[in-house]
Amino acid sequence: MKLLEWQGKHLLRQVDIPTAQGQVVEKPEDVNALILDGGKMVIKAQVPVGGRGKAGGIKIASDPQQVKDFAMGMLGSQLKGFPVESVLIEEALNISEEMYLSILLQPSGEYLLLFTASGGMEIEEVAEKTPEKIVKFSFSPKKAAAEYVFIDVLRKTGLQGSKLKAVGEIAWKLYKAVVKFDLLLAEINPLAVLADGSAVAADAKVEVDDNAIFRQPIVKHWVKPPTDELEKRAKEIGVTFVDLDGDFGIVASGAGLAMATMDLIRDMNYYPGNFLETGGGITDKLIAGSVGLVCSKEKVKGLIVNLYGGVNSLTAAAKGVVDGVAALPRKVPVVVKAQGNQQEECWRILEEVGIPVIKTHRTEDAVRLLVESLGGNAV
Ligand code: GDP
Ligand code: MN
């Protein structure tokens, strides 16, 4: 889950990383109720994406009226494709240098720290134009990295004295935050160095591992229930679902199988109407619910159920398809492809009620049959 800047900063403060004083507003009434003492303020649109500065989502106000005007202007607007539902108002920092610091969890399980003293711009741009200015440091979570380790790494960039101490300390604390809050990514850009040599996180881009949210009480609090009706239903059924715009519905017993089905549908010049993946917990009820969910969209003209029975019981899946199809309020052609654990029993149950079954491992056979049953020409 990608956090908003104010949420990211809230986590950073738990490990004592310095940030500016700020307040979050969500409604015009909040803006009117703001108590401001007249100093320079920065108004920041809270959307889970970078590059807000260039898109007009970061503004500096010099008096309280301007703060309110900017905040009102941002609330409810769209920024980079996201609705601005909250705005962060902070004391503007007197930044003398902008640096970049991030720690991310790599697929290998090691952490990677990236740092450059030329922050402020996108790290991708620095990487392309002046890669020599980026310090990379890969380290194992087994070695609880100590503060001096980070200071030593950053020393290589030429940082010295109080600045080196300030930035090194933040790097070490950022690592603590990554471990403590199960983060996949923690990025501070800019890491602002002020005139007195102290360093402050002026931005925070933080991503939490979805699988760990259950044990992160602060983050759990921020999870929003899905607003989309279909997504809500998918969540209740217990499947991973993404709504799409095409005409062929998909129920697949794994993410890879679902993606392959989508590709093969495109190969035949049709479009997938959704992505749905059941995972390993198939029951007849779950499959029946999935069939109903996918076919609840009028636009979906036909359904492919693509099953692999590993841990999953194909008998339960077949019963679920039969129940799901029987409960549909309209007629939707369905083709099932099923291979694996209990396949013969599965085929028998489906054929008994006249649902066509593909008994090969070729998903394209299922797509072709569905195209033909809709009166189209399979390519
Ligand atoms: P992003 O573009 O979405 O990553 O937004 P940031 O929060 O990183 O802000 C973009 C730029 O706005 C920064 O690089 C700074 O130059 C500027 N900025 C952000 N916060 C402050 C602040 O408190 N004071 C000043 N002077 N500039 C700021
Ligand atoms: Mn930034």
C-beta of residue 105 within 8 angstroms of C-beta of residue 135: no
pLDDT for the residue numbered 42: 97
Taking the CA of 58 as reference, the closest ligand is 1
Q: Is 134 close to ligand 1, i.e. is its CB under 6 Å away?
A: no
What distance in angstroms lies between residue 121's CA and the mean position of ligand 1's atoms?
10
- The number of residues making up the chain comes to 379
* pLDDT at residue 37, as a whole number: 84
Is residue 236 within 8 A of residue 292, CB to CB? The reply is: no
Rounded to an integer, what distance in angstroms lies between the CA atom of residue 286 and that of residue 283?
5
The model carries a pTM of 0.75
Q: How far is the CA of 71 from the centre of ligand 1 (A)?
A: 16
Q: Which ligand lies nearest to the CA atom of residue 51 in the structure?
A: 1
Nearest-10 crossing angle of helices 161-180, 147-155? 130
Q: How far is CA 371 from CA 268, 271, 332, 338, 356, in A?
A: 8, 11, 12, 18, 13
Structure tokens at 266: 């495109």
* Ligand nearest to the backbone CA of 9: 1
Instruction: Output the CA 87–ligand 1 centroid distance in Å.
Output: 14
pLDDT tens, N- to C-terminus, the chain (379 residues): 999 999 999 999 999 999 998 999 999 999 999 888 888 999 999 999 988 999 999 999 999 999 999 999 999 999 999 999 999 999 999 999 999 999 999 999 999 999 999 876 778 888 888 888 899 999 998 777 889 999 999 998 889 999 999 999 999 999 999 999 999 999 999 999 999 989 999 999 999 999 999 999 999 999 987 778 999 999 999 999 999 999 999 999 999 999 999 999 999 999 999 999 998 889 999 999 999 999 999 999 999 999 999 888 999 999 999 999 999 999 999 999 999 999 999 999 999 999 999 999 999 999 999 999 998 877 6
**Which atom belonging to ligand 1 lies closest to the Cα atom of 90?**
23
Host H or E run for residue 154: helix 147-155
Find out whether the beta carbon of 53 lies less than 6 Å from any atom of ligand 1. yes
Distance 112 CA to ligand 1 centre (A): 24
Atom of ligand 1 nearest to the CA of 20: 23
Structure tokens at 372: 């033909």
Other CB atoms within 10 A of residue 141 CB? 13
Element (H, E) at 209: none
Which atom, in ligand 1's list, is nearest to the CA of 95?
26
Q: Is 95 in the pocket of ligand 1 (CB under 6 A)?
A: yes
Distance 66 CA to ligand 2 centre (A): 22
- The string of DSSP letters for 216-259 reads -HHHHTTPPPP-SHHHHHHHHHT-EEEE-SSSEEEEESSHHHHH
DSSP conformational letter for 35 = -
The secondary structure of 278-328, three-state, reads CCCCCCHHHHHHHHHHHHCCCCCCEEEEEEEECCCCHHHHHHHHHHHHHCC
Question: Is the CB of 93 within 6 Å of ligand 1?
Answer: yes
Q: Is the Cβ atom of 190 under 6 angstroms away from ligand 1?
A: yes
The ligand placed nearest to the CA atom of residue 50 is: 1
Q: Contact at 8 Å (CB) between 44 and 57?
A: yes
Cα–Cα distance for residue pair 315/341, rounded to 1 Å? 9
Q: Confirm or reject: Cβ of 58 under 6 Å from ligand 1.
A: yes
Compute the C-alpha angle 57/60/66, nearest 5°: 100
Is residue 202 in contact with ligand 1, taking CB distance under 6 Å?
Answer: yes
Residue nearest atom 19 of ligand 1, based on CA coordinates: 202
Whole-number pLDDT of residue 124: 83
How remote is the C-alpha of 3 from its chain's centroid? Answer: 9
| C-beta of 76 in contact with ligand 1 (< 6 A) | no
pLDDT reported for residue 223: 92
